[in-house]
C-alpha cells in the first residue's frame, strides 16, 4: 500500500524570537524540517510540506534538497486541521495511507514510524494516533480509551475533568490515516472553539461518528516527540540527539574520550577503533574510516571523507575534502575543498586558501600521494602538488609543484649582531 506524508511546517514559531522560520532552525547544520523529511523518506513515496510563515524560504529548502517532496501554501493559517486540508486537492484520487507529522520534531526516528505504520495495518485501523506516557502530562491533550482499548477521544487539558487530567497517556501529534476513508473529514471540520481554528484532533470524534476503527499507538521513548518551540528547546534537543549519536558510535566500536564535550552529527559515519578526542565538533554529512584519531578541538564542517589511519590534530578544521589513508594533518591547519592523497603529511599551521572574495569562487587544492607540506604553508587554490613533492616551511604555493620536487619561497635570513643591545643603549 502506498504511503505519503503531510508535514506541518507553516508556523512562525514566535517563541524562537527569530526572522527565520522555526522549521529552518538547524541542529548540526541541518534544518529541523530536514530531520523529519529524512525520517519518513524510505517509508513514504511522496511528501507534502505545508508552508506558511516565510513560505518561500521553506519552499527553497525543500526544492533544493528533496526530490520527492512538494510544498503547499496555507494562507491564512487556521489551525492544524485546516493545514492538512490544504493537501486535499493533491490527494483527491489517492486511496493509500497518509502520515501526518510536525516539522519541528527532529528527534523522531524512522524505526519508530515504521513500527507505527505496522501497528496501524495489523489493527486494521482507519485512524491511528501516536501517543506516549509522561509522568507530568501538563499541557498535553489526554488520550481517553474505550473499554476495548481503542481510542475514544483526545481531551485538551483546558477541557479535561480532574479524572481525565490524571491520565498520563498524551497525544504525540503524529497520525496514520486511511486517506480514502478520512479525507471527507477535512471538508466537514468546524471551528467552533475559542481560537476559531480547525483542529486535526477533531477527526477522532468524526471517525467515531462514522463507526471507523480508531486506535492509539504508544511510543515508548517520549523524547522522540520533543517539539522545538524556543532556543532553549533547540539546545535541549541537540543534547538529546548528541547523546543518542555518541552512544550508538561507542556501541559500534568508536572511542569517544569525553562524551560531555564531543558533538557529532547523526549524518556522520565513523569506523571502528577511531578515537574522537575532547571538544571536537562534527557537523553535516561526513564519513570517517577506521583507526583514525580526530582532535582534540577539531572541527569538521560537512562533506568530509576521511579514509583509514588518518590523524587530524588539535584545532584542525576540515570542510568538503577527501583525506586518504595514512595521512596526518598537523594542528592549527585548515583544509577546505581539497583532496589529500595517501601518506601525506601536513605541517602545523597549513592553510588551503580556497576562496576568492572578489569572484566568490571556491577552488580545489590537490595533494597527491607522499606529499610533505612544511609548517605555516599557504596553498592558494586552484593548485596541485604532485606525488612525492615537498614544500618548505613558510612557503606560499601559487602554482602547481611537479612530482618529487621541492617548492620553497623564503627570503634570505639576515642577522644583525648586537642589534637589540644597540637599541637598548
pLDDT of 409: 94
Is the per-residue pLDDT at 12 higher than 90?
no
Residue 26 DSSP SS3 = strand
Is the per-residue pLDDT at 13 higher than 80?
yes
- Averaged pLDDT for residues 88-115: 97
pLDDT of 192: 75
Per the listing, cell 580526530 goes with 294
Is the per-residue pLDDT at 411 higher than 90?
no
pLDDT of 299: 98
Percent of the chain with pLDDT over 70: 100
Is the per-residue pLDDT at 345 higher than 80?
yes
pLDDT in tens, 133-184: 999 998 899 999 999 999 999 988 888 899 999 999 999 999 999 999 999 9
Q: Which three cell numbers stand for residue 164?
A: 481525565
pLDDT of 54: 94
Q: Which three cell numbers stand for residue 123?
A: 489493527
pLDDT of 159: 83
Give the residue with greater pLDDT, 191 vs 266.
266
Closest-CA residue to 281 (of 307, 250, 246): 246
- Averaged pLDDT for residues 348-358: 95
Q: Does the domain spanning 231-407 belong to CATH 3.40.640.10?
A: no
Closest-CA residue to 11 (of 21, 26, 25, 1): 21
**The CA-based dihedral angle spanning residues 84, 89, 95, 96, taken in that order and rounded to the nearest 10 degrees:** -50
pLDDT of 272: 98
pLDDT of 23: 97
- Averaged pLDDT for residues 58-79: 96
pLDDT of 197: 83
* H-helix or E-strand spanning residue 361: strand 361-362
Per the listing, cell 486535526 goes with 200
pLDDT of 139: 86
Q: What is the pTM of this model?
A: 0.93
Confidence class for position 193, pLDDT limits 50, 70, 90? confident
| Contact partners, residue 27, CB within 8 Å, separation at least 6 | 35, 106, 234, 237, 238, 241
Measured on CA atoms in the order 71, 72, 73, 76, is the torsion positive or negative? Answer: negative
Confidence class for position 26, pLDDT limits 50, 70, 90? very high
- Averaged pLDDT for residues 206-227: 96
Q: What are phi and psi of 339, to 5 degrees?
A: -130, 120
pLDDT of 158: 83
Measured on CA atoms in the order 137, 138, 140, 145, is the torsion positive or negative? Answer: positive
Q: Where in the sequence of the chain do the CATH 2.160.10.10 domains occur?
A: 231-407
Mean pLDDT for all residues in the chain: 96
Q: Which three cell numbers stand for residue 18?
A: 527569530
- Averaged pLDDT for residues 268-274: 98
- Averaged pLDDT for residues 354-366: 94
Per the listing, cell 503547499 goes with 72
Confidence class for position 381, pLDDT limits 50, 70, 90? very high
Identify the CATH homologous superfamily for domain 3-225. Spore Coat Polysaccharide Biosynthesis Protein SpsA; Chain A (3.90.550.10)
pLDDT of 410: 86
Catalytic residues: 331
pLDDT of 196: 74
- Averaged pLDDT for residues 391-409: 97
Q: Where in the sequence of the chain do the CATH 3.90.550.10 domains occur?
A: 3-225
Amino acid at each position: 500500500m502506498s504511503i505519503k506524508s503531510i508535514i506541518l511546517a507553516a508556523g512562525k514559531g514566535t517563541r524562537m524570537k527569530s526572522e527565520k522560520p522555526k522549521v529552518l532552525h538547524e541542529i548540526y547544520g541541518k534544518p529541523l524540517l530536514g530531520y523529519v523529511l529524512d525520517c519518513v523518506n524510505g517509508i513514504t513515496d511522496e511528501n507534502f510540506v505545508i508552508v506558511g510563515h516565510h513560505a518561500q524560504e521553506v519552499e527553497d529548502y525543500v526544492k533544493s534538497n528533496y526530490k520527492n517532496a512538494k510544498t503547499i501554501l496555507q494562507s491564512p493559517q487556521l489551525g492544524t486541521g485546516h493545514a492538512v486540508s490544504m493537501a486535499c486537492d493533491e490527494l483527491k484520487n489517492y486511496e493509500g495511507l497518509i502520515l501526518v507529522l510536525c516539522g519541528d520534531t527532529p528527534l523522531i526516528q524512522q524505526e519508530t514510524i515504521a513500527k507505527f505504520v505496522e501497528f496501524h495495518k495489523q489493527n486494521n485501523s482507519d485512524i491511528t494516533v501516536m501517543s506516549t506516557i509522561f509522568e507530568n502530562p501538563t499541557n498535553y491533550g489526554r488520550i481517553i480509551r474505550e473499554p476495548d482499548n481503542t481510542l475514544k477521544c483526545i481531551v485538551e487539558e483546558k477541557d479535561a475533568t480532574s479524572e481525565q487530567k490524571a491520565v498520563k497517556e498524551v497525544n504525540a501529534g503524529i497520525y496514520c490515516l486511511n486517506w480514502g476513508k478520512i479525507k471527507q473529514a477535512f471538508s466537514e471540520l468546524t471551528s467552533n472553539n475559542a481560537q476559531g481554528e480547525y483542529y486535526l484532533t477533531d477527526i477522532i470524534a468524526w471517525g467515531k461518528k462514522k463507526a471507523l476503527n480508531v486506535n492509539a499507538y504508544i511510543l515508548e521513548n517520549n523524547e522522540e516527540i520533543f517539539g522545538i518551540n524556543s532556543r532553549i528547546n533547540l539546545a535541549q534537543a541537540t543534547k538529546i540527539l548528541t547523546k543518542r549519536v555518541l552512544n550508538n558510535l561507542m556501541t559500534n566500536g568508536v572511542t569517544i574520550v569525553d562524551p560531555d564535550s564531543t558533538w557529532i552529527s547523526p549524518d556522520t559515519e565513523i569506523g571502528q577503533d577511531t578515537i574522537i578526542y575532547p571538544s571536537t565538533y562534527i557537523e553535516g554529512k561526513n564519513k570517517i574510516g577506521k583507526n583514525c584519531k580526530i582532535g582534540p578541538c577539531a572541527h569538521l564542517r560537512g562533506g568530509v571523507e576521511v579514509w583509514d589511519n588518518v590523524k587530524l590534530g588539535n584545532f584542525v578544521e576540515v570542510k568538503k575534502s577527501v583525506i586518504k589513508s595514512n595521512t596526518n594533518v598537523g594542528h592549527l591547519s585548515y583544509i577546505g575543498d581539497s583532496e589529500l592523497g595517501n601518506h601525506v603529511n601536513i605541517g602545523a599551521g597549513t592553510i588551503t586558501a580556497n576562496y576568492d572574495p572578489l569572484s566568490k569562487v571556491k577552488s580545489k587544492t590537490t595533494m597527491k600521494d607522499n606529499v610533505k607540506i612544511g609548517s605555516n604553508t599557504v596553498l592558494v587554490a586552484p593548485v596541485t602538488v604532485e606525488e612525492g613533492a615537498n614544500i618548505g616551511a613558510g612557503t606560499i604555493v601559487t602554482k602547481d609543484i611537479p612530482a618529487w620536487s621541492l617548492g620553497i619561497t623564503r627570503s634570505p635570513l639576515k642577522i644583525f649582531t648586537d642589534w637589540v643591545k644597540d637599541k637598548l643603549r
